[in-house]
Structure 1
Amino acid sequence: MTRKHISATDASTPVNVVLVTLDNHVNGAIERAEKRLICDLPGINFKSFAATEWEADPSGLEGCRAAIASGDIIIVTMLFMENHIKAVSDALAARRDHCDAMVCCMSAPEIMQFTKMGRFTMDGEPSGPVALLKRLRGAPKDGKPGASGERQLAMLRRLPRILRFIPGTAQDVRAYFLTLQYWLAGSEDNLTRLVSFLIHRYASGPREVLKKVAREEPPIEYPDVGVYHVDGRLRISDTVAPVDDAAGSEGTVGLLLMRSYALAGNTRHYDAVIRALEARGLRVIPAFASGLDARPAVKRFFMSEGESIVDAVISLTGFSLVGGPAYNDTDAAQEMLAELNVPYLAVQALEFQSINQWRESPMGLMPVEATIMVAIPELDGATGPMVFSGRDRDDPKRSFDMSPETERIERLASRVSKLVALHRKQRSEKKIAITLFNFPPNSGAMGTAAHLSVFESLFNSLKALSRAGYSVDLPDSVETLRDSLLKGNAELYGAEANVHATIPVDDHVAREPYLEEIESQWGPAPGKHWTDGRRMFVLGQSFGNVFVGVQPAMGYEGDPMRLLFAGGLAPTHVFSAYYRWLREDYAADAVLHFGTHGALEFMPGKQVGLSDRCWPDRLIADLPNFYLYAANNPSEGLIAKRRSAATLISYLTPPVTKADLHKEFAELRSMIDLWRGRELDATESHLQQLVEA
């Protein structure tokens, strides 16, 4: 059959295509797709808008609403937050019956109801093909989807093939699910085919001539579960590259990526993380899975015969392990992570603000980011939140692509490298630093913690470490342990506890990277705390490969909380020197903060999503941090997790029972009760007996 000739005038007919989605991750692919579409459709105007931009840039929202008002083909996806829904709902409702097609998918029901594709709509009771599809999807159980993401994707591919042979509205239903296929495999090729397909099927009015120009080509299929390759022509595959004998000698790290970013070619931030880890001798397996359920990727690429083949896993997705922001299956995620049994970190690529805004923000992550990207993954068991990328508004050529935050990525790689080394090292060789607290200072509170008998618990912990294979020189008793720490050579140095090591002032001045900031607050080194003027003291005692130290006081004796709430301050010389000594001189493999709570996590800096200017991050650096924390104080425990990269180990508070009174006070209470219950006509002699008693 000979194809009918189409004039240049017909092909140039204007058509406005509008994409409204959550973020800008496909913008680069959209720009490239538009250039290809213009070859066949010179009149096309393809615009995309990201809801995450609207709060910071109200003009962007106005532009989006104006584009919707004149849009011919409108695609809306990933709108599930209330403020995003309210921002465009009325504009979508007003345009719905006047555009050629409106496709709303993977969004809240308030948005999905605006779908109109030929005779297929979603604004009424489900019937016919739609009701059939709901039954095929499976009934939810206990608030969770009836089918896994993997099964839903397989069904998504089968349905268009089945519906192809059913006439009527089913053809529009088929078009809806084909649209989902194009979008979920959103490469430059598939975005080009998506727009061409919708124009070919739904262009109407003066644009109907474009049906003869636009082509319908099936979605290109990519692996639902696969690996990403930094190098080579084939960036996406379903197999892991062969292992070089020299590669991964220091360990193996599994990375979880967003498939949509990899397909869209928006991967500079992923590449930077992979390169930084590989530079430390680590083998990296960058894996992805569709449908926001990462378990298939974990099972296929991070495990073998039910055993983990990686030493740590980092999620770069910004979402929970199972379910993403729309629903979160915490139980399934915890079961998967327990089976994996290696450190699991969830780090953040900024979606709701630019990297420039984050750098300047005293808060760090916005509340919505802290909720979706930090709090929900924490329910799974994730630790170590850290910003590793965002969109750089100072780079106009790449303002819509993710830009790696190099310093943060280096910190992440260094921190993961230490965790992997800790995982692989023999227990007898590991050096552990246990930190006790001294708060409030100068009040006899050294070695105390909320709801914890510190020295008894510490003694039991040392015994447990020894039984587990760590090299520990056990003291004879709790009293011996306490005296060796709180007394020892304290009188010789005029110190508050045993002096285990000293740091010469010249050494501190030469090695302290933030000396100028500390001196602006506390004067020249060594300051006035825990020093004899020539040296600074590290208080504590060594027990084999376990060092038990005392965290220095914050510095303000009369107002110890001042440092926590006043911005722009710095810790004392000895506070910073203590953590540097643990990391570099003692060379601890991990630190255990013992009890609730210390001061590290309350040092000045951002609240969540810290930078290299935040003191908790500077002090803990890449040292693996574990924190024994009271189970009844989750709010401050979260501060320790988020601001000092701590993994919490909970301890129960003492049981509550009726205290009652000592014998003398019990008798006094009884007499008071007798007095209060005396008869009004009691004789004077009777009253005298009560008083004398």
Structure 2
Amino acid sequence: MHLLAATPGTISDGTEAVDPGQSPADLVVISAADNELVLLAEARAALGAEAPSLRLTSLKHLAHPMSVDLHIADCAARSRLVVARVLGGTAYWRYGVEQYAARLAEAGVPLALLPGDDRPDEELKRLSSVDPADWEALRAFLVEGGPANAAGFLRWARAMIEGAPRPAPAVPLARAGLYWPGAAPESVADLARRWPEGAPVAAIVFYRALVAGGGTAPVDALIEALLARGVAPLPVFVASLKEPASAAELTALLAEAAPEVVVNLTSFATGTPDGGGAPNPLAGPAAGGAPVLQGLLAASTAEAWRDSSAGLSGRDIAMNVALPEVDGRIITRAIGFKGEARRDEATECTLARWEAEPGRAAFLAELAARWARLRRTPRAGRRIALVLANYPNRDGRLANGVGLDTPEATALVLRRLAAEGYRVSDPPADGAALMARLLAGPTNWLPDRHRRRGGVTLPLADYLDHWNALPEAVRAAVEARWGPPEADPFFEPGETDCGRFRLSVVEFGNVVVGIQPARGYNIDPKDTYHSPDLVPPHGYLAFYAWLERVFAAHAVVHMGKHGNLEWLPGKGVALSENCFPEAALGPMPHVYPFIVNDPGEGTQAKRRAQAVIIDHLTPPLTRAESYGPLRDLEALVDEYYEAAGVDPRRVERLRREILSLAAA
């Protein structure tokens, strides 16, 4: 049979055998948790000669019966102590449990079968051959976790092997608590000494397992990025958001710190689609209504993510995107990945550590900072951009959100914002008045665009500042498809300067209404609207650059489906800096009123443009009737059909009436 080499971070489905290729040692540890394997390897290196010789094996590589047989024969049966953490219990690894128990008993090698989580497992305890007190002690070291307990685990195992007195037991690690790199904060007040004075607080919620397994590099990178933006990080680890003790501690810390925004790095959801499930501490009164941003920790490598058009694996999407969406979290970026596998010769195991992606952590930190700024800014000072879709790109299809009277809804939003304390100058009385203002200026309709005045302008020099800050890959793709900025139909040459972009925006004080640019020009808009590879032209990028750099928007609101930002080229989720939705919008708070019966397209905006979807109902249904002269014409045609072949004189009279009415 063909054998595969063992590689960490991969999951074997048992269809192919994997040869761990390990020699015997004093101690063999089998675990499904990469973090735990890394932690034990680091503890062995730190202890030096005090540690027993050690072999580490991933349970994922022992799914095939032949893999089990090889490992027992070559390594386990010739070692002095074997400890296996069986994730899911005997039912999930029956062949392995049975074979290790039987064959190690024959070889006289002590075996400790431990549960892979923190719940006791009496069946595994019964099948183990070590003393029950040793079984409980070994389990406690690994359940509590952390560097000190990893070292304690190795010391205890050596004492068992040598028949020596047992060392100190495991040191408990709290189920939930505060974290800081290189420190052990005891309270929020202790943590606050490290914060910028008066800074908004951003809570970071992540799994206790990252602390226990030494996998906090992504969290550390996010803390550093938040501090660089003048935001005060409140890192809190939890065993699970569903665990009552963890939820209670998190709730108390949130109530004390009063965060402006929460960044959540845990997986799954606390609730269910029907509104059931455990209470969600991130949505409770203690969180104070803070927006919850979902940061992603991906089980793949960063290299695999960069090469993937999907962005994440199906498993990562399910755990870290789809289920968290049930709790209403704002999907952002992947800030951590499993590192490339590296062979540790001392343990004869290839190890994969959690590694941070600093650029993605910076994006998430900037997005969190902007949400905090939005919440802290008084309503009169908030600057909001309302963007209207235009598909296809004719003036007759302007502001055509699906299932929404977008002109009237936008006019209503403007008046409501004014009533709520936002600085809105001269809001339109109704949708017709708004449309008149928009149509008086430039739109996406190109034939007479050059004759229309109004709108706003972005000088070429300002655009080039923005353009040159974009990634090289983005600039190269745009130039290859559309040429230089001066070739864009939104661009106007200058008589005394370098020219400018004229953009479809109407200003109402601190609120503006803009027409979303087309994805291109001299193309078929229907065929290219959802194109996965058509990059936007310069005028498109200039529109969003004006919103951020000139208008200084606190938030962008796309008014109704059918926008095109979420369909720009790039990854499906966990976008990189080279993905065009990010190149256009950036780390901007984004709100998107969207028709409730199209969650599929709304999902694209959530996952690719960090959108908060605000559902609106479908329009009320009624019979589609004719009206006015069309109703009279329809009646004459029906009468003509009934008279045909029966009354020729009546048919002739009806024919004349139909033609006369049609010509009127």
Q: TM-score range by the shorter chain?
A: 0.7 to 0.9
Distance 1:264 1:477, change over 3 A: closer
Counterpart contact for 2:424–2:508, Cα < 8 Å: yes
Q: Distance between the aligned counterparts of 1:347 and 1:411, measured in 2? A: 10
1:409 paired with 2:414, answer no
1:423 paired with 2:375, answer yes
Q: Distance between the aligned counterparts of 2:451 and 2:515, measured in 1? A: 10
Matches within 5 A, 1:556-567: 556-560=521-525
* Cross-structure match for 2:58: 49
Residue identity matched to 1:32: E
* Cross-structure match for 1:117: 125
Q: Deviations over 1:37-67 (max 9, x none)?
A: 774674x43313164xx7xxx9999877743
* Cross-structure match for 1:604: 569
Aligned residue pairs, count? 595
1:363 paired with 2:374, answer no
Does 211-220 or 32-41 show the bigger shift?
32-41
Counterpart contact for 2:458–2:502, Cα < 8 Å: yes
Residue identity matched to 1:431: R
* Cross-structure match for 1:585: 550
Q: Deviations over 1:463-502 (max 9, x none)?
A: 1111111111212333222101112477998359763212
Matches within 5 A, 1:598-637: 598-637=563-602
Distance 1:269 1:687, change over 3 A: same
* Cross-structure match for 2:517: 552
Q: Distance between the aligned counterparts of 2:102 and 2:342, measured in 1? A: 39
Q: Distance between the aligned counterparts of 2:617 and 2:69, measured in 1? A: 54
**Partner SS state of residue 557, structure 2:** strand
Find 2:449's aligned residue among 494, 502, 505. Answer: 494
**Partner SS state of residue 40, structure 2:** helix
**Partner SS state of residue 657, structure 1:** coil
* Cross-structure match for 1:467: 419
1:401 is displaced (CA, Å) by 2.2
Distance 1:619 1:330, change over 3 A: farther
* Cross-structure match for 1:508: 463
1:449 is displaced (CA, Å) by 1.2
Distance 1:448 1:498, change over 3 A: farther
Distance 1:198 1:502, change over 3 A: same
Q: Deviations over 1:198-223 (max 9, x none)?
A: 7877xxxxxxxx36137364321122
Q: Which runs of 5+ in 1 are unaligned?
A: 1-11, 122-168, 202-209, 677-683
**Partner SS state of residue 479, structure 1:** helix
Counterpart contact for 2:409–2:431, Cα < 8 Å: no
**Partner SS state of residue 71, structure 2:** helix
Distance 1:659 1:49, change over 3 A: same
* Cross-structure match for 2:34: 24
Q: Distance between the aligned counterparts of 2:98 and 2:194, measured in 1? A: 60
* Cross-structure match for 2:406: 454
Does 422-431 or 188-197 show the bigger shift?
188-197
* Cross-structure match for 2:18: none
Find 1:296's aligned residue among 248, 251, 264. Answer: 248
* Cross-structure match for 1:256: 205
Q: Distance between the aligned counterparts of 1:501 and 1:350, measured in 2? A: 42
Residue identity matched to 2:55: F
1:361 is displaced (CA, Å) by 1.6
Residue identity matched to 1:526: E
1:573 paired with 2:528, answer no
Counterpart contact for 2:85–2:115, Cα < 8 Å: yes
Matches within 5 A, 1:294-373: 295-304=247-256, 309-317=258-266, 319-320=267-268, 322=270, 330=277, 332-333=279-280, 336-337=283-284, 340=287, 341-351=289-299, 353-373=300-320
**Partner SS state of residue 302, structure 1:** helix
Find 1:227's aligned residue among 178, 194, 209. Answer: 178
Q: Deviations over 1:639-661 (max 9, x none)?
A: 10110111111111102233356
**Partner SS state of residue 641, structure 1:** helix
* Cross-structure match for 1:162: none
Counterpart contact for 2:83–2:112, Cα < 8 Å: yes
Find 1:477's aligned residue among 430, 434, 440. Answer: 430
**Partner SS state of residue 647, structure 1:** strand
Distance 1:357 1:284, change over 3 A: same
Superposition CA RMSD, Å: 4.1
Counterpart contact for 2:115–2:124, Cα < 8 Å: no
* Cross-structure match for 1:190: 149
Q: Distance between the aligned counterparts of 1:383 and 1:584, measured in 2? A: 24
Counterpart contact for 1:415–1:623, Cα < 8 Å: yes
Counterpart contact for 1:295–1:321, Cα < 8 Å: no
Residue identity matched to 1:76: R
**Partner SS state of residue 117, structure 1:** helix
Matches within 5 A, 1:516-535: 516-533=476-493, 534-535=499-500
Q: Which runs of 5+ in 2 are unaligned?
A: 1-22, 105-109, 345-349, 494-498, 655-664
* Cross-structure match for 1:247: 196
Counterpart contact for 1:589–1:624, Cα < 8 Å: yes
Counterpart contact for 2:31–2:37, Cα < 8 Å: no
1:248 is displaced (CA, Å) by 4.4
Counterpart contact for 2:176–2:250, Cα < 8 Å: no
Q: Distance between the aligned counterparts of 1:68 and 1:107, measured in 2? A: 24
Counterpart contact for 2:366–2:587, Cα < 8 Å: yes
Residue identity matched to 1:310: P
Q: Distance between the aligned counterparts of 2:484 and 2:68, measured in 1? A: 56
Counterpart contact for 1:103–1:117, Cα < 8 Å: yes
Q: Distance between the aligned counterparts of 2:436 and 2:579, measured in 1? A: 36
Q: Distance between the aligned counterparts of 2:99 and 2:253, measured in 1? A: 48
Q: Distance between the aligned counterparts of 1:237 and 1:334, measured in 2? A: 21
1:566 is displaced (CA, Å) by 5.7
TM-score (norm 2): 0.78
1:393 is displaced (CA, Å) by 1.8
1:608 is displaced (CA, Å) by 0.8
Counterpart contact for 1:226–1:297, Cα < 8 Å: yes
Does 560-569 or 570-579 show the bigger shift?
560-569
1:75 paired with 2:27, answer no
1:692 is displaced (CA, Å) by 8.2
* Cross-structure match for 1:276: 225
1:91 is displaced (CA, Å) by 3.7
Distance 1:59 1:585, change over 3 A: farther
Counterpart contact for 1:455–1:482, Cα < 8 Å: yes
**Partner SS state of residue 440, structure 1:** coil
Counterpart contact for 1:18–1:47, Cα < 8 Å: yes
Q: Distance between the aligned counterparts of 2:114 and 2:637, measured in 1? A: 73
1:389 is displaced (CA, Å) by 1.4
Counterpart contact for 1:288–1:297, Cα < 8 Å: no
1:560 is displaced (CA, Å) by 2.9
Does 276-285 or 12-21 show the bigger shift?
12-21
Distance 1:64 1:622, change over 3 A: farther
Does 616-625 or 524-533 show the bigger shift?
524-533
Q: Deviations over 1:260-295 (max 9, x none)?
A: 222333322221111111122221111112245352
TM-score (norm 1): 0.75
Find 2:100's aligned residue among 95, 103, 116. Answer: 95
1:257 is displaced (CA, Å) by 2.2
Distance 1:479 1:240, change over 3 A: same
1:572 is displaced (CA, Å) by 0.3
